[in-house]
Amino acid sequence: MSYDTILFEMQGPVGLLTLNRPDKLNAINGRMVEEVNALLDRIERDAAVRALVVTGAGRAFSAGFDLTEGAGRPWNTVGDVRPVLQADFDFVMRFWHSLLPTVAAVKGYALAGACELAMACDITIAAAGARFGEPELRFGSGIIALLMPWLSGPKRAKEALLTGNDKISAEEALAMGLVNRVVAEGEEVRTALAIAREIAINDREKVRLTKQAINRTYSIMGFEQALAMGLDADIQIEALQTPEGKTFREIRQRDGLKAALAWRDARFAKKD
């Protein structure tokens, strides 16, 4: 099958999914969501596919959801916001809940929703030089899939999320528990494929049941309920009309994102 925003190929029993909008740093738009969901629907039923590796074309894994796509849509009430963010949330969590074991191979940037996607995969390999982060609060937004506290613990998650840090190095991500391994740049896909092949040797159904059992352990601890609460908080954040948020959005719509960020930063700039 041919796609507009992704590439897919089989390498033995392992599927390799490449997010393919390199000119946009593989920003996730509606078309990509549709194509990935359709692909997963197909390969999860295919007994020949025993594991899935996810990576990005060009110089990045992904910069996250494409903020330009819905710039003109109404965004003033919970009713406006909820369907869009629910679809984004379901897309990220598709990799957590997939019947296939999923391995992310990250290079360059993995930001915002793409950082969440990398965390939602069962195993994450990072190239040295990769940068992770969730800068949503800096843009007046919230976290769609609040996975980081479950992987890193509350202290590190709060520092990263409340500051909007988008420069978490691969080594720091490893120390935080966000990734499994850091490898030399250019080796991330090869390493991810090698791990996926090791998984693929095992009985497909027994791998699925084991992944499901691990996920259910988190369910018992309230994982789904906590993520649903986090999504509700994000919906409230997006629909909240504060004076600061209103000014930020007005500057962003009139002059662009860089101008809005400059306005935000200048308000508390250190003065001599």
The residues that are catalytic are 116, 136
Element (H, E) at 199: helix 188-200
Whether the Cβ atoms of residue 104 and residue 117 lie closer than 8 Å to each other: yes
State the helix-helix crossing angle for 113-120 and 78-97, rounded to 10 degrees: 30
Amino acid at residue number 257: L
Q: What are the C-alpha distances in Å from 261 to residues 24, 139, 257?
A: 20, 8, 6
| Per-position b or e across 156-192, b if 16+ CB within 10 A of its CB | bbeebbeeebbebbbebbeebebbbebbeeebbbebb
Q: What are the C-alpha distances in Å from 11 to residues 114, 205, 258?
A: 24, 20, 41
Q: How many residues does the chain have?
A: 272
